[in-house]
């Protein structure tokens, strides 16, 4: 791809950027591709650890036109693509946002930046179990996304941890490929909706281990087994398994937006008209609002929508 700069930078530090994008996952970087191509000067606050959840993934098989690409490679391509059109990328964490002033003020690393608009694309973090061995095996048998990884477990034995709708959904997706799916839940009732529970309970491939918790994840190069504790009698057993899917919830990354834009009770950004937050000129994209689909491709599409709405906003305030 040839270098094609569409968006120039502000001439000095007092002149505001047209768009400040906070977050550098698929939502933020896709938004940047659209805002720069819309000739809007764009700064991305990518975070010290940039790239979002795909940086923790190995093979990605469901991003169109990139079958088999490694997650970090896909994100590097997206970053390069956004920068090619003139987006400025700062690998810094935002520590404060002031949406009560115009232009908006964003602080990162002790420096204030000003922007006429903001796209919030900070994503949500997967909650992982806090047990020994799990972090080392993420992408090596441990996953949090059945729609992404289920085909890698054809005719294998897999387990899902959790008792909410996500766990039910993961188990149902996995049952289309796996030999056997075991839901491991710490209580003796599910939190999930009755409809989802019924689908799970009537699926002959899905078994449920009630009152059970994973206390250790074992494996050298790949996941091999789990140590399980039965909460009724505290006994420990070993459970050989090929795949482990964690579905115990997500936490949206919205600490700096608390009190600045409307958040729901779980901390997700509340949007109206798809991408608009409670503050005109501040838009949202990706998993920081969407707790249903949580896919790279939906986040990218959401980033595109936020950018287009943001460009319309900028044309209206000119």
- CB nearer to ligand NDP: give 92 or 291: 291
User: Which residue of the set 98, 109, 149, 242 is catalytic?
Assistant: 149
From residue 72, how far is each of 52, 76, 91, 176 by CA, in Å? 9, 6, 15, 28
Binding-site member from 83, 143, 166, 182 for ligand NDP (CB under 6 A): 166
Active site residue 304: no
**149 part of the active site:** yes
Min separation Cβ 247 and ligand NDP, Å:
6
Distance CA 288, CA 206 (A): 31
Contact of 41 with 11, CB cutoff 8 Å: no
If residue 194 lies in a helix (H) or strand (E), which one and from where to where? helix 194-201
Q: Which two tokens stand for residue 228?
A: 């399980």
66 within 8 A of 14, measured Cβ to Cβ: no
**Which is closer to ligand NDP, CB of 166 or CB of 275?**
166
Q: Structure tokens of 176?
A: 């289309």
248 binds ligand NDP (CB under 6 A): yes
Choose the stretch contacting ligand NDP; rule: CB under 6 A; options: 106-114, 144-152, 160-168, 300-308.
160-168
Ranked by CB distance to ligand NDP, the top (closest) residue is 164
Asked if 162 interacts with ligand NDP (CB under 6 A), we say yes
Select from 88, 169, 242, 287 the one that contacts ligand NDP (CB under 6 A). Answer: 169
Between residue 278 and residue 307, which ones bind ligand NDP under the rule CB under 6 A? Answer: 291-292
How far, in Å, CA of 81 to CA of 103, rounded?
27
| Residue 166 beta carbon to ligand NDP: minimum distance, rounded to whole angstroms | 3
Judge contact between 18 and 88, C-beta under 8 A: no
At closest approach, how far in Å is the CB of 83 from ligand NDP?
34
Neighbours of 226 (CB within 10 A): 26
Beta-strand pair 180-184/206-209? parallel
The least CB distance from residue 24 to ligand NDP, in Å, is: 24
Determine, following the binding rule CB under 6 A, whether residue 274 of this chain makes contact with ligand NDP. no
Query: Is residue 246 a contact residue for ligand NDP (CB under 6 A)?
Result: no
CB 113 within 8 A of CB 194: no
Q: Which of 23, 86, 163, 252 binds ligand NDP (CB under 6 A)?
A: 163
Neighbours of 65 (CB within 10 A): 5
Residue 16 DSSP one-character state: P
Region binding ligand NDP by CB under 6 A among candidate stretches 38-46, 171-179, 183-191, 230-238? 183-191
| Residue 315 C-beta: closest distance to ligand NDP, Å | 36
Among 102, 135, 140, 187, binds ligand NDP (CB under 6 A): 187
Residue among 61, 112, 148, 165 flagged as catalytic? 148
Two tokens at 317? 């305030």
| Given 72, 139, 147, 164, the residue binding ligand NDP (CB under 6 A) | 164
Catalytic residue among 18, 98, 145, 290: 145
Query: Which of 315, 253, 306, 273 minimizes the C-alpha distance to 116?
Result: 315
Cis check for the bond before 227: say yes or no (omega within 30 of 0).
no
Is 148 among the catalytic positions? yes
Confirm or reject binding of residue 146 to ligand NDP (CB under 6 A).
Answer: no
Q: Terminal CA-to-CA distance of the chain, rounded, Å?
A: 32
Q: At closest approach, how far in Å is the CB of 62 from ligand NDP?
A: 17
Site size with ligand NDP, rule: CB under 6 A: 17
Structure tokens at 50: 């940039």
Burial group, residue 59, by CB count within 10 angstroms (0-12, 13-18, 19+): middle
Q: Which residues are catalytic?
A: 145, 148-149
Contact residues for ligand NDP (CB under 6 A)? 129, 161-167, 169, 186-187, 191, 247-249, 291-292
């Amino acid at each position: 791809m040839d270098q094609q700069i569409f968006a120039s930078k502000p001439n000095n530090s007092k002149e505001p950027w047209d768009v400040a994008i906070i977050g550098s996952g698929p939502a933020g970087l896709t938004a940047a591709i659209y805002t720069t191509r819309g000739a809007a000067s764009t700064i991305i606050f990518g975070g010290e650890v940039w790239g979002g959840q795909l940086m923790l993934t190995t093979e990605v098989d469901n991003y169109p036109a990139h079958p088999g690409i490694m997650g970090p490679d896909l994100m590097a391509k997206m970053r390069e693509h956004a920068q090619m059109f003139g987006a400025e990328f700062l690998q810094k964490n935002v520590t404060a946002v002031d949406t009560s002033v115009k232009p908006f003020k964003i602080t990162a690393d002790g420096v204030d930046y000003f922007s006429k608009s903001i796209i919030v694309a900070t994503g949500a973090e997967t909650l992982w179990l806090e047990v020994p061995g799990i972090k080392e095996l993420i992408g090596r048998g441990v996953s949090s996304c059945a729609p992404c990884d289920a085909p890698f477990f054809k005719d294998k034995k897999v387990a899902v941890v959790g008792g909410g709708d996500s766990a039910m959904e993961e188990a149902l997706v996995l049952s289309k490929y796996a030999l056997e799916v075991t839901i491991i839940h710490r209580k003796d009732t599910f939190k999930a909706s009755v409809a989802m529970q019924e689908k799970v309970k009537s699926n002959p491939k899905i078994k449920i281990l009630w009152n059970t918790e994973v206390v250790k994840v074992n494996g050298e190069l790949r996941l091999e087994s789990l140590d399980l504790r039965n909460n009724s009698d505290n006994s420990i057993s070993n459970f050989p398994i090929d795949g482990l899917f964690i579905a115990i919830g997500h936490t949206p990354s919205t600490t700096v937006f608390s009190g600045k834009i409307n958040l729901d009770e779980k901390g997700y950004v509340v949007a109206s008209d798809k991408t608009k937050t409670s503050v005109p000129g501040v838009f949202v994209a990706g998993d920081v609002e969407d707790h249903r689909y949580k896919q790279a491709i939906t986040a990218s599409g959401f980033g595109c929508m936020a950018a287009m709405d943001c460009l319309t906003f900028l044309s209206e305030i000119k």
